[in-house]
Amino acid sequence: MSVRNLVFAAGLALGAVPAWAQDAAPPSAAVPAIAVPQVEDEGLSGSVTDDSAWRDLGVAIPAFATNRDQPTPANAQGTGALGVELGRVIFNDLRNNGLFRPAGPDALPRPGYAQITAPSWSTWQGRSAEMLVHGYVRAESDGRLTVGCYLYDVALQQQLVREGWVVPAAEWRRAAHKCADLVYSRLSGESPFFDSRIAYIAETGPKDKRVKRLAIMDSDGANHRFITNGQSTALTPRYSPDYAKIAYVSYLNGNARMYVYDIGSGNQTLITQSSNPTFAPRWSPDGRWILYSMAAAGNTDIYRVSASGGTPQRLTDGPGIDVGGSYSPDGSRIVFESDRSGEQQCYVMDANGSNQRRISHFGGRCATPEWSPRGDQIAFTHIAGDLRVAVMSPAGGSLRHLTNSWQDEAPTWAPNGRIVQFFRTARGSGESSIWQVDLTGRNERRLATPVGASDPAWGPVLP
């Protein structure tokens, strides 16, 4: 699971082939320190990264080189072919997310191993590529892979950043995502997000007999896996912050109940003992608490319970439906929806349930609020005729729609708070699919999933 991060020695001689990777160090801060813009204070808008100059950078990503083409469990054709795949994963990460103007291995010449640390500049100049990504892959005797990643400024003929990782062969894609994250972070100033996973609900069958299964996949759709078999309806999964568990709702016993599924063991537990339906599970940022909603005699309130079980604490107690809380990144506050005013609106309260106050006053309804991991925005479903995904400040100001379709709902944030995923339902057929859009609202795309898909839940960046 863990990806070992290689720390570069400061005075490393660059002329040689990359032998540095043998100096493996224990895991450390995953990404080199870079100048990151300060998170805006709440109430301020303008945290949209459109029109930034970096968006137009041409980035060349040729195939990764290898010191010796040799067998690896990661690729039947050996490490040479794996180097091409590594480049493709990085290229697709950037291209599919509308980042930069990338060119991939299939459109570029392939550098040799020695050129990884000494690029052939003349090859890359005149290709409208301002930036060049080089990398290599090497199979180690223990079956693992060492992957190095270098970012160069072509005009300056200068290395901007480099990093290396040692990964189990089965997790070779993670090294490519780490490299894409390195490139993205260094060029945009934003936090990484590619090396992360998504839990969601896979949907098959006709509208009145739809089968809903819990499923997981990497942020780019790879390593897809169904977790439940579909015999009982599964809904609204959420990854625990450490990716060890998934909280979700299942009709396993005939009624909606919140379960926590342990990915390692395959066991699942019922956290709360109640004959009432429990749903809308949400983890606290530190993973110690689970928020959920429980309906009793038709009235729904929000509770929190220790992730290891115990006595739940009721956080809301008014008449009406209170549902779907989401913690602020520091865990001090919770945004949730309530129809206590007569219709769904968004409210904020302290983590202990005190200081409940309405924040949405812009007309229409406010549903499924999700606090950005950066803390500066809240994404939600705005219901005004159609259902659209929108963002607002934590104080309820600066409403902006990110989508405009018949029915888009249930936004979930990328770990860096710059992209939102949601699910879109088609009018008539009711077929659902997962989409994502960046905060400019311009780069919208559908995620490829094997079958219909809803309720995406994006987890944090892997260590």
Contact residues toward other proteins (CB under 8 A) are 206-208, 210, 212, 228-229, 231-233, 235-236, 249, 251-256, 265-268, 277, 279-280, 293, 295, 297-300, 321, 323-324, 337, 339, 343-344, 367-368, 381, 383, 387, 407, 409-410, 425, 427-428, 430, 454-455
User: Would you say 212 or 304 has its CB closer to other proteins?
Assistant: 212
User: Would you say 28 or 267 has its CB closer to other proteins?
Assistant: 267
User: Would you say 319 or 463 has its CB closer to other proteins?
Assistant: 319
Tell me the DSSP string of 374-438: TSS-EEEEEEESEEEEEEE-TTS-S-EE---SSBEEEEEE-TTSSEEEEEEE-TTT--EEEEEEE
Which residue stretches of 75-144 are H helix?
79-96, 121-124
Question: What minimum distance in Å lies between the beta carbon of 322 and other proteins?
Answer: 9
Q: Which of 153, 119, 113, 118 is nearest to 136 (CA)?
A: 113
Question: What minimum distance in Å lies between the beta carbon of 324 and other proteins?
Answer: 5
User: Would you say 242 or 343 has its CB closer to other proteins?
Assistant: 343
Q: Which of 387, 403, 392 is nearest to 442 (CA)?
A: 403
What's the CA dihedral at 349, 355, 356, 360 to 10 degrees? -80
Question: What minimum distance in Å lies between the beta carbon of 298 and other proteins?
Answer: 3
Q: Categorise residue 296: left if φ over 0, alpha if ψ from -120 to 50, beta otherwise.
A: beta
User: Would you say 130 or 370 has its CB closer to other proteins?
Assistant: 370
User: Would you say 108 or 420 has its CB closer to other proteins?
Assistant: 420
Question: What minimum distance in Å lies between the beta carbon of 88 and other proteins?
Answer: 33
Question: What minimum distance in Å lies between the beta carbon of 454 and other proteins?
Answer: 8
CA angle 429, 338, 247 (to 5 degrees): 65
Kindly report the number of other CB atoms within 10 A of residue 414's CB atom. 26
Cα separation, 191 vs 169, in Å, equals: 26
| % helix, strand, coil for the chain, step of 5 | 15, 40, 50
Question: What minimum distance in Å lies between the beta carbon of 437 and other proteins?
Answer: 18
User: Would you say 118 or 295 has its CB closer to other proteins?
Assistant: 295
Question: What minimum distance in Å lies between the beta carbon of 432 and other proteins?
Answer: 10
